[in-house]
Amino acid sequence: MKADNECNVVETRFENGLTVLTDHMDSVRSATLSFLYRVGARCESAEWHGINHFIEHAVFKGTGRRSTLDIAIEQDRLGGNFDAFTTHEETGFVMKVVDEKIDRAFDLMADMLSEPRFLAQDLEAEQNVIIEEMKMTEDVPEEQLGEIFNAALFPENGLGKPITGTAESVRTFNTERTREYFERTFTPENLIITAAGSVDHEKLVELSAGVFGERERGTSGESLKFAKPVAATPFIVKHRGDLEQAHFVIATPFPSATDDRRYAADLLANIIGGGTSSRIWQSIREERGLAYSVGSAATLYRDCGVFALFAATSPEQTREAIELSIAELRSILLEGVTADELDLAKDTARASILLSLEDSLSRAASATGQELTFGRQISVEETLENIERVTSEEMLDIAREFFRTEHIAFAALGDLKGKGLERGQLALE
């Protein structure tokens, strides 16, 4: 194995592919510990749809040394925040504790992720829990619209799949199948162990070696099995007469997380709808009072990106809110962003980055995310320099490439019968 020091993050790479990162912070008593696997929903074939999310749940159901209740009691005793999540590109487990308890936190998390027992009765219970989670999504309009929209935006790609899978697929994850997938996929080359805060690198390496250092690489290559998506341009209006508000999303392709233009793309999304001073917030909420929830965001995957503008408003006001949203995109295309808008976006981004340095949870997430996306660490100084170099001309070039009528995707959910929504409203040119 090899150790290296780049930025403030120290890394060790084991021969079996395991990566260990630490980011030591002086004068703090917190420590955040993260176990992240380089697999998510987009890696799954049809027969395994939802398996990564299922395993995220199932490892809490007990190990050879701990029962389900033991795990629950111990995480409460540690007094920290224990979070687990699955996205389209990763499956992660994160715990923040006081520094004196990091060894115990490591023992708990490593036990769950090295020796899960996957008993039949536990998995059957968790299948029911996840199916109830799916029903919750149907009860939350924003989440239901998101799944409808993603499926239509990426119809031939894993990015369009619900992360939870389906009731039918989840019911197939018995002990044998779950263990088979876990043993060939949740393996050292797919694992990044990160700690930030009051932590010692050599100690974390020692702990990691003791549990994962001698384990063999997997054979599936699951983390690499996804095709670059081609975004579709759906126009979907789904009627739900029981909703008081109509929810809509307008989206276009955008630069990816590895594109050199990612800094400009992120700043542009923030100028359009990233905060209370953004264009659509001011236009739709403050000036006309059409919506409480309105904004935009850039979602940057490893190989593609999506710009999405979203709002919720009364059904009879939906058409006006859409027209105002399109008008702001058209204004960007015709006039670009102002110098004041660019300066404000840079100041906001700089403040967010610098303030995040005070939190071990944010530092751990940053180090892990950079390893996952780039395979290296990007210093704060380099990031701030890249943000400062962004120009309004670069933003205009991005807008002209991606904000085009033929690229626009749209979906709406609500009591929208007879509200006159049509694709022609989305014309930018």
Q: What is the pLDDT of residues 145-173, one digit of tens each?
A: 999 999 999 998 999 999 999 999 999 99
Alpha carbon distance 120, 282 (integer Å):
54
Q: Determine which helix (DSSP H) or strand (DSSP E) holds 3, and give its type and residue range.
A: strand 2-6
- Same fold flag, 2-224 and 235-426: yes
**Per-residue 3-state assignment (H helix, E strand, C coil) for 7-62:** CCEEEEECCCCCEEEEEECCCCCEEEEEEEECCCHHHCCHHHCCHHHHHHHHHHHE
Alpha carbon distance 118, 144 (integer Å):
30
CATH of domain 235-426: 3.30.830.10
pLDDT of residue 222: 54
In the predicted model, residues of the chain with pLDDT beneath 50 are 2-6
The DSSP output letter for 116 is B
Question: Do residues 250 and 235 lie in contact, with contact meaning Cβ atoms separated by under 8 Å?
Answer: no
Alpha carbon distance 417, 173 (integer Å):
40
Share of the chain above pLDDT 90, in %: 91
The β-bridge partners of 96 are: 32, 81
Query: Is 401 one of the annotated active-site residues of the chain?
Result: no
Residue 414 backbone zone (phi > 0: left; psi -120 to 50: alpha; other: beta): left
Cα dihedral 145, 245, 318, 251, rounded to 10, equals -20
The whole-model pTM stands at: 0.93
Where exactly are the structural domains of the chain? 2-224, 235-426
pLDDT of residue 220: 58
Annotated catalytic residue, options 56, 222, 328, 371: 56
Alpha carbon distance 173, 283 (integer Å):
48
Share of the chain above pLDDT 70, in %: 97
Task: Determine whether domain 2-224 maps to CATH 3.30.830.10.
Answer: yes
